[in-house]
Amino acid sequence: MIIEMFPAENGDAFLIRLDNGKNIVIDMGYATTYTNFIKDRFIDLNNKNQCIDLLIITHIDEDHIDGAIEFFKENGYVNKPNIIEVKEIWYNSYRHLQFEKGKVDGIDRFEKRQLEEIILSNLGENREGNNEFSNVSARQGSTLAGYLYEYGYSTDRWNTSFNKEAVKLDKLDKIIELIKEKDYFIINRPRQYGKTTTMYMLEQRLKNDYLVVSMSFEGIGDEVFLKEKTFSKVFIELMAESLEFTNEEESKRLLGYENDIDNLRDLSKLITRFVRDSKKDVILFIDEVDKSSNNQLFLSFLGMLRNKYLLRQQGKDKTFSSVILAGVYDIRNLKLKFRNEDEKKYNSPWNIAVDFDIDMKFNEKEIESMLKEYSSEKNVIMNTRNIAQLLYRYTSGYPFLVARICKIIDEKLNKENLEWTEEYIIKANKILLSERNTLFEDLIKNVENNEELKDYIFDLIMNGEEKSFNLDNPIINLGNVFGYFINKDGKVKISNRIFEQRLYNYYSSKLENKVDMSSYNFKENFITSTGLDFKKILLRFQQFIKEQYSSIDSKFIEREGRLLFLAFIKPIINGIGFDFKEVQISEEKRLDVVITYLKEKYLVELKIWRGEEYHKKGLKQLSDYLEINELDCGYLIIYNFNKTKEYKSETIMVDSKKIFAIWV
């Protein structure tokens, strides 16, 4: 192997000549780098009947991409190159974002199925003295994409190893390494987390080197798992259907075995025969594997695969080179139902699986990379770094949530393609929280169907209870499996702010059904020309508590009191305002509520009275919080559960900050 490095100043330009005669180019520096150095080498290679087997453009800095732009401008059409043939290009542009592609002029729908997650990459790093986010770089990124379309590379030369989706060389390659080691493993992640997309992308990456059998257990029905013969036949049919359009010969061969199956033992023999006679190693993907995992037949099926795996290790059997199972639940810990009222936990025979610890959520850099490509392709102005940080702040990188917010902005808020602002993120978040989608439906369904989980989350986010993260606790483990909980410094936290807000809305709505506030929180009573009369709102809420709840309701108020205020304020700000809650875990266990209405922002702190010392400390914290938010005035609701409590209000000055407080 020979590596040539061309002068590119701060940038990169490499030609890698492999011993097998193939050539790989990584970046092409400036235009002068190509003109003065690279062009002659390409001509020389072409004269030797060689080509560029792979051209990789890592990112859109001008000292990486300018030379490529100049090259494609000179090289012309893909089928009649003026300089040299390029067989494949790895370059991520706006076409690889999974939203709004169909509306981009000149871009067809390349994907065979609608992907709901964003596939993006982050290959570039900032270099000192080089501004990746400049309009110059953005224009260059868009220019290169334009040439690739104009000269015909988009049909079958652009990111074809990735099925024309984004090049993703970090997480996907880690998974492929497991497959190369012939490991069996489980991708268990929450709903809308990129599992199906990942399986699909893996299939496209591996199909040239492996015979990939990909199936899903979703929608096959429970009756399939009642009898071994039925399941075995359906399994072979699913295998055949998977190969029908990619390898018709192998598909027909499988269907020819169908009549020879009566039980799992026959299925095992058939798999051995099929794998033995295949020209390539066979990989098995099963998506939604946990859809029918609560029965004995499924357990027996896993046991059959496990036995074949162990026999293969001893050289006594032929079986799938690698098996990848995907679902929400980790099937290594199964609960099998034998009767409706009886549930027993079993250890799964899938203990042969290696740990799958690859982080599939997006980090800030990955989100930033997506935004940078989007801004360059659509000529939209944005501070990609700040927008990425805010997106991550709300979503914590949850793939579906990132994609959905971007889609809302693109389709509903920024139709003119002018500029993305941080305000758009806030508005899109509000729209997202008001809509129904499968992710939120699952969230509420799972909470509604599990009273322990419902109470646990309530104590966590409403009462600020601090709980240690321990997956041996079934409730914590369940919340973690669903993607609702994360481990932050050893404590249980809600995984992202959007889930937290949706759960607040859920709990407050449930409370609204129990409590009639309509005579107290009539919206028009609190509206001013510029915003809200927040002092009046708090005094009215105090009156509501005083008149509607006596001392006998103290336990209810202690548990639900802060939620009562959220339910109280909701009809007042509904449609115009937006509220965001954040529990502050401290000695005071306070709940902060940030409310925006029109262009005004109101900061409200809700806390339980714990004595004068904590009160003074809390006032100072609230004052500091107001300073951070650049506000001069804040509001405080103090829940006092002493029998001698007084319903009072006062205005308190702390470090030049005005705080209006009420006691309830």
Each residue's pLDDT tens digit, 578-621: 666 665 544 555 678 888 888 888 999 888 888 888 888 889 88
Q: What is the pLDDT of residue 532?
A: 92
Residues of the chain with pLDDT under 70: 93-142, 162-170, 193-194, 291-294, 329-351, 356-358, 417, 550-552, 575, 578-590
Per-chain mean pLDDT for the chain: 81
Helix axis angle, 451-461 to 497-512, nearest 10°? 110
What does pTM read for this prediction?
0.61
Distance CA 532, CA 534 (A): 5
Q: Take residue 254 and report the two structure tokens written for it.
A: 């499988």
Residue 151 to residue 139: CA distance in whole angstroms? 18
User: Which amino acid is residue 194, in one-letter code?
Assistant: G
Which residues, in sequence order, are CB contacts of 205 under 8 Å at separation 6+? Answer: 161, 162, 172, 176
Minimal CA–CA distance to 239: which of 323, 352, 162, 360? Answer: 323
What is the model's pLDDT at position 341? 44
Cα–Cα distance for residue pair 655/649, rounded to 1 Å: 19
CB 236 within 8 A of CB 281: no
Other C-beta atoms closer than 10 Å to the C-beta of 487 total 15
- E strand spans, 102-148: none
Contact predicate 420/380, CB 8 Å: yes
Question: How many other C-beta atoms lie within 10 A of the C-beta of residue 651?
Answer: 10
CA-based diameter of the chain, in Å?
96
Residue 402 tokens, joined: 């990132």
What is the model's pLDDT at position 154? 82
pLDDT tens per residue across span 232-247: 999 999 999 999 888 8
Predicted pLDDT of residue 134: 43
Number of H helices, E strands in the chain: 21, 19
Torsion of the alpha carbons at 63, 65, 67 and 68, rounded to the nearest 10: 170
Q: Tokens in use for 229?
A: 């013969």
The DSSP H or E segment spanning 285 is: strand 282-287
Q: Are 495 and 563 in contact (CB under 8 A)?
A: no
Each residue of 325-363: pLDDT tens digit? 887 766 655 444 433 444 444 445 566 777 766 677 788
Q: Is 539 strand, coil or helix?
A: helix
State the pLDDT at residue 101.
35
Would you put residue 345 in left (φ > 0), alpha (ψ -120 to 50) or beta? Answer: beta
Q: Which pLDDT score is estimated for 57? A: 87
User: C-alpha distances in angstroms, 212 versus 244, 425, 438?
Assistant: 12, 40, 29
- pLDDT for res 235: 93
- In this prediction, residue 485 carries a pLDDT of 93
- Check residue 536 and give its pLDDT: 95
